[in-house]
Amino acid sequence: MTKEEKLDKGLLLPLMEEFYTIQGEGFHSGKAAYFIRIGGCDVGCHWCDVKESWDASIHPATETDLIVKNAVKNAKTVVVTGGEPSEWNLVYLTTELHKHKIKTHIETSGSNQITGKWDWVCLSPKINKLPVLNSYQKADELKVIIRSKQDFYFAEEQAKLVTETCELYLQPEWSVRDKMIPLMTAYIMKNPKWKISIQMHKYLNIP
């Protein structure tokens, strides 16, 4: 089987990094988790803090079995992030993790079909490339990044598309957090269906 065929089947993944840390954002903030960051992104937010993840070709095509082996040694919950992990076939990865009773979480913009079996889907839509429609129905958590006042309108439009049980979060874009947090606090107090997500890991100075 060629490298391309293995990538297509999800037997190889362009691994940027993997590490055990504390989840810093959203519903599962404060919990220990093993992060798997996959290279490749077709969204390209200008404020992205991991732009080095965008080009999948610079990250080694790694045996998925090895990724699973490393995860199993470290944690009971795995968070797959990117980049944009929906670019890849993640059926094999999640199947193998579930065999070891590992909880599987994904953080995605939903710009492509979400493959694999997930215990938690955090959908973080981006206005420059909106999620495919069925991504909204899979979302357990909607996390909208707030960089300007206009993003509140975008957040409300996105919230109309997820299920009634989906958890709703607003998160300030890190570089403008001091400006946006007061606006977000006031907004959430008027619209309590939303909760605030802060990038806790950056305050704790951990990965």
169/196 Cα distance (integer angstroms)? 5
Residue type, 44: G
pLDDT at 123 > cutoff 90: yes
pLDDT single digits (tens) 68-83? 999 999 899 999 999 9
Looking at every residue in the chain, the average pLDDT score rounds to 96
Evaluate if residue 96 carries a pLDDT over 90: yes
Q: Is the sign of the CA dihedral 97, 207, 136, 168 positive or negative?
A: positive
Residue 19 has pLDDT above 90, yes or no: yes
Please give the backbone phi and psi of residue 110, each rounded to the nearest 5 degrees, phi first.
70, 20
CATH of the domain at 86: 3.20.20.70
**Which residues, 6+ apart, have CB-to-CB distance to 86 below 8 Å?**
106, 108, 109, 110, 111, 112, 113, 114, 115, 135
C-alpha to C-alpha distance for 195 and 126, rounded to whole angstroms: 19
Dist. CA 117–CA 179, nearest whole Å: 38
Q: For position 46, what pLDDT does the model report?
A: 81
**What's the pTM value of the predicted model, to 2 decimals?**
0.96
Q: Which domain holds residue 87?
A: 3-204
Q: How many domains does the chain have?
A: 1
How confident is the model at residue 74, as a pLDDT? 85
The model's pLDDT over 128-186, given as tens digits with 9 standing for 90+, comes to 999 999 999 999 999 999 999 999 999 999 999 999 999 999 999 999 999 999 999 99
Given a contact cutoff of 8 angstroms between Cβ atoms, the answer to whether 143 and 124 are in contact is yes
Give dist(CA 89, CA 136) in Å, integer: 19
